[in-house]
Structure 1
Amino acid sequence: MTWLRALGALAVLALVALAFWSTYQHGRSTMDAEWRATSAEQAEAFQRERNQASVAVLDWQEDEQEKRRALEDRLQVNDETHYKELLDAKKLQDRLRDRLATADLRLSVLLAGPTTATSGSGGVREASGSSGMVHGGARAELDPAHAQRIVAITSDGDEGLIALRACQAYVRDLRYKYDSVPP
């Protein structure tokens, strides 16, 4: 009879172990299913965030490219304007030099102080002739070589001013791009 009791105790122990094992397996499979569902939700959320971030980066990149293209277009227009201004100034200076070289045009300067009267005139200045087109004080005509040098100096100055305006326009455009301050 003891072996029957031992067999019954063993059967009860086997049933308890089987119940424990099936409960453990059921709980584990339920937890695995929940973990998989949570993991899938997290993966979907992460993928959505990545997609949104990618779209945001692509939009930002497109905006930056549009800004860069607009800046390049403005700079191109500024360069063309600068080149045209330089070309026009150079043509004007060349025409002026040609007119000075052919004696078609003479440069004159206004004398700073009153001219002194010639000796024997009793201190009275000569009257200016009525045939001249010069109004105002006495004038002196410049030597053609000096006139050419003055024209060259003013030409360099004009080119410098045109270059300065071009640089200022360039800086304004860059400032507009980076600071969003309208030009």
Structure 2
Amino acid sequence: MRLFDLIPAQFRIAAIGLLLVAVVAGSAALAWTAQHWRYGRVLERQARLQADTLNEISQASAALQRTEQDKRLALELRLQNKDETHYKELTDEQTKQARLRDRLATADLRLSVVLAATEPIGSCAMPTTTATGRVVHGTARAQLDPAHAQRIIGITDAGDQGLIALRACQAYAKEVSTPK
């Protein structure tokens, strides 16, 4: 006697259908599991490749960032050196101007201007008497009042400071705009 004969006739079609469903479901589950293993390996490989790519990108980004930071640091050092140089020039010029003002105030130094020539051009007349304290022969000069001399020195001092500041600005602009 066979197992199939033990099933009542009215349930045989249902049993065959159930058996077919079990076989189909089993093969589907088996295929699903095989696909899961295969695609799992593919996804794992893709995830590993993506992680490696992201790691390379982050390392390249970090190297680029270090390079840019090094460039910025070098530029800051160059600008600091330029700033110190220009500050030294400015303080030296201020010191020279202060000494000149002090010499003018104590009448140690007198400023003079050349007077308009009263002699015809080409005349090289030598002075008849020698002046003490002067070796240079030349055109007649008039000495300025100390107050006017102080104002002139103040104007030239401001001009010198402006020129030093302009050179500093130009050097800064050149340093920043020139790629290294």
Q: TM-score, normalised by structure 2?
A: 0.80
The residue aligned with 1:144 is 146
**Structure 1 position 12, deviation (Å):** 5.1
CA-based RMSD: 2.6
**Structure 1 position 166, deviation (Å):** 0.8
2:114–2:140: 8 Å Cα contact kept in structure 1?
Answer: yes
42, 53, 57: which is aligned to 2:57? 53
Residue identity matched to 1:87: T
Q: What SS class does the counterpart of residue 138 from structure 2 fall into? A: coil
Q: Percent identity?
A: 45
Distance 1:39 1:129, change over 3 A: farther
Structure 1 unpaired stretches of 5+: 117-124
Counterparts of 1:14-29 in structure 2 under 5 Å? 14-29=18-33
Counterparts of 1:32-71 in structure 2 under 5 Å? 32-71=36-75
The whole-number CA distance in structure 2 between the counterparts of 1:16 and 1:126 is: 139
**Structure 1 position 136, deviation (Å):** 2.7
Residue identity matched to 2:139: G
Q: What SS class does the counterpart of residue 36 from structure 1 fall into? A: helix
The whole-number CA distance in structure 2 between the counterparts of 1:110 and 1:128 is: 20
Counterparts of 1:148-167 in structure 2 under 5 Å? 148-167=150-169
Structure 2 unpaired stretches of 5+: 120-124
The residue aligned with 1:120 is none
102, 107, 110: which is aligned to 1:106? 110
2:126–2:137: 8 Å Cα contact kept in structure 1?
Answer: no
Distance 1:168 1:128, change over 3 A: farther
73, 79, 84: which is aligned to 1:80? 84
Q: TM-score, normalised by structure 1?
A: 0.79
The whole-number CA distance in structure 2 between the counterparts of 1:98 and 1:66 is: 47
The residue aligned with 1:115 is 118
